[in-house]
Amino acid sequence: MAFSKVLVAFDGSELSTKALNTALAYCRENQAQLEVLHVVNFQNFVVGEAMVAFPVPLQKEIQDNAEKLMAKAEAQMEGLPGSRVVLRQGSPAAAILDHAEENQCDLIIIGSRGFGAFRSFMLGSVSNHVVQNSQIPVLVIK
């Protein structure tokens, strides 16, 4: 089965980089389009009974780093017609599934875990949520 439009979730971690490289190789070999998606999630935090907003300067720093990360991914996509990078905000799993549906992707490639212990836990739950709720095939890279 050949896929024509592949979505890869990318956060710059080792496993998401492997996922991106897998997607790049597949798309080059099969002349498929590639969508590289990075999701930034600015969650509010609950401390006791108070809701604390994500600090604006930190949001700016994270957004700038995300844009640099996506520029690196875009540079690797040279020669893949119709391919693009996309930066979204929101819940990562929901954003991945929504993007796949909205853009008629027919395969999702995602790393099984992301950066650090906390982010590994979060990304592990993201990949699990994507696998459990996707209407299209999902390739999880370990």
Could you give all domains of the chain from N- to C-terminal order, each with its CATH number? 5-141 (3.40.50.620)
The rounded distance, in Å, linking the Cα atoms of 123 and 121 is: 6
Phi and psi at residue 115, in whole multiples of 5°? Answer: -70, 140
pLDDT recorded at residue 122? 46
pLDDT recorded at residue 131? 95
Read off the pLDDT of residues 101-114 as tens digits, 9 standing for 90 and up. 999 999 999 998 75
Residue with tokens 């999902």: 138
Average pLDDT over residues 58-62: 87
Any residues with CB less than 8 A from the CB of 130 and at least 6 apart, and which?
9, 93, 96, 97, 108, 110, 138
Inter-CA distances, 23 with 10, 63, 64, 107, 139, Å: 11, 24, 24, 10, 10
What is the sign, positive or negative, of the torsion defined by CA atoms of 108, 109, 113, 114?
negative
Under a CB-based contact definition with an 8 Å cutoff, are residues 87 and 38 in contact?
A: yes
Query: Is it the case that residue 3 has pLDDT exceeding 60?
Result: yes
pLDDT recorded at residue 123? 45
Question: Would the pTM count as exceeding 0.85?
Answer: yes
Read off the pLDDT of residues 38-48 as tens digits, 9 standing for 90 and up. 999 877 667 77
Residue with the larger pLDDT of the pair 97 and 2: 97
Residue with the larger pLDDT of the pair 12 and 117: 12
pLDDT recorded at residue 138? 98
